């Protein structure tokens, strides 16, 4: 299934995609958190929610929001998790995490829930006083079952689905503050969507291809199998000491080709258009304002 949250008839609604249409399953105040709440439910509850949907509308005619517009907690993010990106970031002079290019253990930081926006929504680059806005395509994992001390062998049992995340970043703020939260959590700096795809629809996660284009120019290309620390390792590592809850979101890291990797850096400016694609998950597009 592909879950969406969107504006419809002057209110927020949520539902599932069926071909070129959306089946509206919830509308009103409850729709804002409907997809989030489904993450912890069994298939019987989900099927009942879908069966309640009787109104069918054209997908092309709605304004999509992030499928989870208001995450319940910070987005858990992984830094330096593709070999080539670890090298480009380490050599950029902006890496305050370690003297080593390739980390020995996952580098974890967070983005504030208030940074989340949906497809098509503008990224407010003017909030960055340093004018060093950068893009980062990432595969997002949504947890579907409470996870504490989960082994790698059982990790995928706890994944509800996947979506695209753009970990927009102020590079100068990221470096200035050492810890990355401020440079990563500016309002509008976490485009997410366009929909949440349940894990059963993805035959081979490791084969998924990531592509970023800025103003039509290909900047990033990779496959999930290029990750330094794969998805089971990330879930095992995080859950070893903290509990992951249904609806928690993990951004798994970005590949090489970010703006800071160029000489001189290719930072984003007003009017720049970002198009992020991950096979099986659609396309996430946003523009800098």
* Residue stretches of the chain with pLDDT short of 50: none
* pLDDT value at residue 96: 60
* pLDDT value at residue 177: 85
* pLDDT value at residue 72: 97
* pLDDT value at residue 83: 85
* pLDDT value at residue 274: 98
Query: According to CATH, what is the number of the domain 75-287?
Result: 3.90.850.10
pTM to 2 decimals?
0.95
* pLDDT value at residue 102: 86
* pLDDT value at residue 134: 98
* pLDDT value at residue 90: 58
Inter-residue contact 58 to 21 (CB < 8 Å): yes
CA distances from 110 to 74, 185, 214, 248 (A): 6, 8, 25, 12
Residue 65 to residue 73: CA distance in whole angstroms: 18
* pLDDT value at residue 91: 61
> Could you tell me where in the chain the CATH 3.90.850.10 domains are found?
75-287
* pLDDT value at residue 68: 98
Q: Output the furthest CA–CA distance in the chain (Å, rounded).
A: 57
């Amino acid at each position: 299934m592909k879950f969406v949250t969107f504006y419809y008839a002057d209110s927020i609604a949520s539902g599932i995609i069926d071909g070129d249409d959306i089946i509206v399953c919830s509308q009103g105040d409850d729709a804002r958190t409907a997809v989030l709440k489904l993450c912890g439910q069994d298939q019987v509850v989900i099927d009942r929610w879908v069966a309640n949907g009787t109104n069918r509308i054209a997908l092309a005619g709605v304004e999509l929001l992030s499928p989870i517009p208001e995450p319940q907690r910070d987005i858990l993010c992984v830094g330096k998790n593709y070999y080539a990106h670890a090298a480009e970031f380490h050599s950029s002079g902006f890496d305050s995490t370690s003297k080593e290019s390739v980390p020995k253990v996952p580098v974890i930081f967070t983005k504030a829930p208030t940074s989340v926006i949906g497809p098509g929504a503008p990224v407010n680059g003017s909030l960055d006083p340093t004018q060093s806005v950068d893009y980062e395509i990432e595969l997002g994992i949504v947890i579907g079952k409470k996870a504490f001390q989960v082994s790698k062998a059982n990790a995928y049992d706890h994944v509800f689905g996947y979506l695209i995340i753009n970990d927009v970043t102020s590079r100068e703020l990221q470096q200035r503050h050492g810890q990355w939260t401020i440079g990563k959590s500016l309002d509008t700096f976490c485009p997410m969507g366009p929909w949440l795809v349940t894990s059963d629809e993805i035959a081979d996660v490791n084969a998924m291809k990531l592509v970023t284009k800025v103003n039509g120019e290909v900047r990033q290309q990779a496959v999930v199998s290029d990750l330094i620390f794969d998805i089971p390792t990330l879930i095992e590592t995080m859950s070893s000491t903290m509990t992951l809850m249904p609806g928690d979101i993990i951004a798994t890291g970005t590949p090489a080709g970010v703006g800071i990797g160029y000489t001189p850096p290719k930072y984003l400016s007003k009017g720049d258009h970002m198009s992020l694609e991950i096979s099986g998950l659609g396309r996430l597009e946003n523009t800098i304002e």
